[in-house]
Structure 1
Amino acid sequence: MKEIQFTDIDKIKVGHAQNVDAATGCTVILCEDGATGGVAVRGGAPGTRETDLLNPTEMIEKIHAVVLAGGSAFGLDASSGVMEYLENKNIGFDVGVAKVPIVCSAVLFDLVIGNSKIRPDKSMGYDACKFSETNTKDLNGNIGAGCGATIGKILGPKSSMKSGLGSYAIQIGDLKIGAIVAVNALGDVINPSTGEILAGALNYDTLEFLNTEKVLINEYQNKSNRFNCNTTIGLIATNAKLNKAEANKVASIAHNGFAKSIYPVHTMHDGDTIFTMCTNLVEADVSTVGMLASKVMENAIIRAVNTAETFNNTISRSDLLNKLNK
């Protein structure tokens, strides 16, 4: 097993666009030849587009793109730019009078950290697609859908830390599998091996972690609505040959990566969603692919917090460590 770039996965392209000053953006994962798609939604507050058609009972067999975006429900507009880009290339499901690109998407809430009036839109989605034409690198941190991502928001933005976009991919023989994820969780990001909090709800005066699980337990009598501006969204891409039912299963198993690295996860205030895109080139066992999907997702989440950069007064893990080591 060796680490590769996410962009090394056969027939997969990745593009990003963002407005750094407004702290929002979108990430587009494209498979112009069409990929078998799957999805698993586990959070209680999802914002999604075209997830129903990924049900194995539905007609559509292939998808052409997945969009991960900030901007809350407003950010779903970025998918329109991806539709236009693909239509201009004559890519889509043939309905006789047109080819309709099949574009799925999920959004996260990042309106608090930057300019709430600027969100991913049609032009930003199109720009992300154009960027994918020349992009050959895995870009992480404050980029694309991770531009305005934050974590540890149980007590609101004042105790949150900066997160971002993370990717991680591996190859075993001919099989390639990778995860890309924008980490914007209510909870804390944990080192799965040690249980150590890597980033999350923070006391900015003492620079000590508040521990979101302990906050919830200590305040269990508090019946008020928790800060609901969250959601971690991601995608598993693989060159494995899988059908729709198997692709959905892989997306479901990949949520184990969320559960191992984000505490708590899948709350009513998170819209946690994972897509799958399979380019169908290599025979593979679905259980093995699912296990690897969980592993690469776990590593992508950790990379998202390790590569994030401080934005305004919302500190990143790297800058927190610098302060603690002084």
Structure 2
Amino acid sequence: MISSITDVAGIEVGHCTDARRPTGCTVVLARGSAVAGVDVRGAAPGTRETDLLHPAHTVERVHAVLLSGGSAWGLDAAGGVMRWLDEQGIGLEVGPARVPLVPAAVLFDLPVGDHRIRPDAAAGYAACQAASRQAPQEGNVGAGAGATVGKVFGLQRAMKGGIGTASITVDGVTVGAIVACNALGDVIDPDTGAVLAGARSADGLHLLDARRALLRGEVARSVMAGTNTTIGVIATDAVITKAQAARLASVGHDGLARTINPAHTMFDGDTLFALGTGESGRSPGLLALATMAAEACALAVVRAVRAARGITVDGLQLPACGERA
């Protein structure tokens, strides 16, 4: 059985993938609302409503999180998520009004195909319409549709990234994660240390191992800040506070660091959200939840590249894990 973030009670996921070029968005819905936190670890993020999630700020709960391609343009898709939630009567009651709260993060996929095609409000709305408790598709879909990995030595030597999901259940409490991996660095198998997908040799036929290449003095190609980024959502059915949600988002980055190298660079905007639905009515304690969160994120990153499929767009060839260049 495939584990996924939708194993967490109260969580639904929907993708919208644009058939005109590899891009799209993914929504994680918590119709009953969820306690939320965030940790922005990369130096070049594209986000919305992250200040809302600071533990010292007033609002405790949100109704959805959006992950999107399209760089800053993709933040528009959150408006569509808000509109869909509003039509369902979901939102924070503020006097006579109801305001759906939808934090969001984006990744940079504009070089893959026609950059003028980006997720918009209609895409966010469509992702909500597609949302369900079923295990979501992985690989070249939603926010992972245009994702790439291993760009340290240029996009021409990169490989296809994607979106992946996983969950872990311990003693009746579940923690799940969904991650769209668009990293500058390579993706590593945390159990073996082997490179699964990443920068390729100059002839494109072999994996280079970017970490070792950098350490022996090979010069990285000039990279613009913000042109990468791994984004994701951690969710649990445990009972947690807003401060604990922020801590889960923080330790989730440990999972990214185990599976992406180099990670959290000045060229990435790595951002993780955490949601707590509380539907299990229990909590095993923050140490156990943190361990589960980091592990779920690591598994989701590996699944993202293993589920990806190679593409060729406008002469740019991006092979996937397990495929020859």
TM-score after normalising by structure 1: 0.93
Task: Give the unaligned 5+ runs of structure 2.
Answer: none
* 1:255 equivalent in structure 2: 253
Contact kept, 8 Å, 1:15 with 1:132, in 2: the verdict is: yes
1:293 matched to 2:293 = yes
Q: Secondary structure at the match of 1:245?
A: helix
Taking structure 1 as reference, are residues 257 and 278 closer, same or farther at Cα in structure 2, changes over 3 Å only? same
Q: CA deviation at 1:220?
A: 7.4
Q: CA deviation at 1:118?
A: 0.5
Q: CA deviation at 1:221?
A: 7.4
Q: Secondary structure at the match of 1:183?
A: strand
Q: Which segment drifts farther, 296-305 or 16-25?
A: 16-25
Q: CA deviation at 1:218?
A: 4.3
Percent same amino acid among aligned pairs? 45
Counterpart-to-counterpart distance in 1, 2:294 and 2:219: 34
* 1:235 equivalent in structure 2: 233
* 1:79 equivalent in structure 2: 78
Q: CA deviation at 1:227?
A: 4.5
Q: CA deviation at 1:211?
A: 2.0
* 1:107 equivalent in structure 2: 106
Task: Give the unaligned 5+ runs of structure 1.
Answer: none
Q: CA deviation at 1:97?
A: 2.5
Counterpart-to-counterpart distance in 1, 2:159 and 2:224: 14
Q: CA deviation at 1:3?
A: 6.5
* 2:145 equivalent in structure 1: 147
* 2:265 equivalent in structure 1: 267
Counterpart-to-counterpart distance in 2, 1:187 and 1:122: 30
Counterpart-to-counterpart distance in 2, 1:50 and 1:98: 19
Contact kept, 8 Å, 1:191 with 1:302, in 2: the verdict is: yes
Q: CA deviation at 1:163?
A: 1.1
1:314 matched to 2:318 = yes
Q: Which segment drifts farther, 6-15 or 198-207?
A: 198-207
Counterpart-to-counterpart distance in 1, 2:104 and 2:213: 32
Offset from partner CA, 1:125-160 (integer Å, 9 cap, x none):
000000015x61321000100000000001221001
* 2:215 equivalent in structure 1: 217
Q: Secondary structure at the match of 1:209?
A: coil
Q: Which segment drifts farther, 242-251 or 190-199?
A: 190-199
Q: Secondary structure at the match of 1:317?
A: coil
Contact kept, 8 Å, 2:178 with 2:233, in 1: the verdict is: yes
TM-score after normalising by structure 2: 0.94
Q: Which segment drifts farther, 10-19 or 170-179?
A: 170-179
Letter in structure 2 aligned against 1:257: G
Counterpart-to-counterpart distance in 1, 2:2 and 2:286: 20
Counterpart-to-counterpart distance in 2, 1:268 and 1:24: 23
Offset from partner CA, 1:223-249 (integer Å, 9 cap, x none):
x84254100001101101000100000
Counterpart-to-counterpart distance in 1, 2:129 and 2:219: 50
How many residues are matched? 318
Q: CA deviation at 1:21?
A: 3.3
Q: CA deviation at 1:204?
A: 5.8
* 1:226 equivalent in structure 2: 223
Counterpart-to-counterpart distance in 1, 2:181 and 2:9: 25
Taking structure 1 as reference, are residues 310 and 4 closer, same or farther at Cα in structure 2, changes over 3 Å only? closer
Counterpart-to-counterpart distance in 1, 2:141 and 2:44: 23
Taking structure 1 as reference, are residues 22 and 3 closer, same or farther at Cα in structure 2, changes over 3 Å only? closer
Contact kept, 8 Å, 2:27 with 2:64, in 1: the verdict is: yes
Contact kept, 8 Å, 2:75 with 2:105, in 1: the verdict is: yes
Taking structure 1 as reference, are residues 77 and 166 closer, same or farther at Cα in structure 2, changes over 3 Å only? same
Counterpart-to-counterpart distance in 2, 1:296 and 1:116: 32
* 1:193 equivalent in structure 2: 191
Q: Secondary structure at the match of 1:103?
A: coil
Q: CA deviation at 1:193?
A: 1.6
Letter in structure 2 aligned against 1:126: Y
Letter in structure 1 aligned against 2:293: A
Letter in structure 1 aligned against 2:223: R
